[in-house]
Amino acid sequence: MAERDVADGAGGENRGGAGDDWDAAFSRLLEGVSLEELSVPTAGEPGRGKLTYGGLRDRVAEQLREKVRSERLRREGIERLQRQFEAAGSVVDEALGDFVGALLDAFNGGGEVRRLPHPRDGRSRSWQVLGYRSPGRAEQREPVISVQLTMRGVDALDRGQPALECRVSTPRNPRLVDFTVGTDFRADLEDAVCRAYQDILGTLRFEPASGTGIDAPASDR
């Protein structure tokens, strides 16, 4: 059975742009299709008449159409998950920047956000918030909060498990908050980072900025 013939049987009425897409989908799919996965009727099955070329062709073409549909849905799911993953990464960038400005700059002598290099598998992103420790070197910032965003993949979705997860940790508590990335991700992340700040507040330098209405004790300056 020629590959083009199967495609014609599945969607020959839609030649042109849509038909070309259909053929291309079949071509990609058939590269990895094992014929052992196809259920071909046999003459010995009860209640079945004689086999014909056309009947077998229709049976196999129907199974391949279903495989193409499943493959297309899976590909769309992967693309959608990747977009969510990238959007969540942008939320982390913004939220951590706001955290530094709202709290570390105001009370702890400042801080910075560092986005760590991406791993080769592309399934996770990591950030570190650097701040001034007490006691610590006067001009050296150290990691005080870490955030890791992990994409479990479509397989997790197939099993009904969360596909995107986030972990917020501190040096003293490596698994402080684990949560699933959902529609309220920004609010959930801000809550987790606030919990992390509470966890390490006693280890940070106290150096309030002007305008906060608080003067640091002379011993902490």
Q: Are residues 202 and 116 in the same domain?
A: yes
Residues in the chain: 221
pLDDT in tens, 53-66: 898 888 888 888 88
pLDDT tens-digit series, residues 27-49: 665 665 555 666 766 656 566 67
103 with 203, same domain: the answer is yes
User: 62 and 13 in one domain?
Assistant: yes
Residue 195 pLDDT class (50, 70, 90 cuts): very high
**Which residues constitute the domain of residue 25?**
3-78
Q: Are residues 71 and 152 in the same domain?
A: no
Instruction: Examine the domain organization and report whether 106 and 142 are in the same domain.
Output: yes
Q: 105 with 209: CB under 8 angstroms?
A: yes
C-alpha distances in angstroms, 90 versus 95, 115, 167?
9, 11, 16
